[in-house]
Amino acid sequence: MIMQGKVVFIGAGPGDPELLTIKASKVIQEADVIIYAGSLVNPEVLEYAKSDAVIYNSAELNLDEMVDIMEKSVQEGGLVARVHTGDPAIYGAIAEQIEQLKEKNISYEIIPGVSSLFATAAALEAELTLPEVSQTVIITRPSGRTPKPDREAIFRLAEHQATMCIFLGVHMIGKVVTELLTFYDPETPVAVVQKASWKDQKIVRGTLNNIADEVQEAGIQKTAIIVVGDVLGTSQVVPSKLYDAHFSHEYRKGEGE
Q: Which helix (H) or strand (E) holds 205?
A: strand 202-207
Q: What is the pLDDT of residues 177-225, one digit of tens each?
A: 999 999 999 999 999 999 999 999 999 999 999 999 999 999 999 999 9
Task: Tell me the domains of the chain and their CATH numbers.
Answer: 6-114 (3.40.1010.10), 117-232 (3.30.950.10)
Burial (0-12, 13-18, 19+ Cβ within 10 Å), 59 = exposed
Closest CA to 210 of 239, 187, 233: 187
Those residues with Cβ within 8 angstroms of residue 210's Cβ, 6 or more apart along the chain or in another chain? none
Could you count the other beta carbons within 10 Å of the beta carbon of residue 255? 10
pLDDT value at position 236? Answer: 62
pLDDT value at position 147? Answer: 77
d(CA 156, CA 119): 26
pLDDT value at position 34? Answer: 98
Q: What is the pLDDT of residues 26-82, one digit of tens each?
A: 999 999 999 999 989 999 999 999 999 999 999 999 999 999 999 999 999 999 999
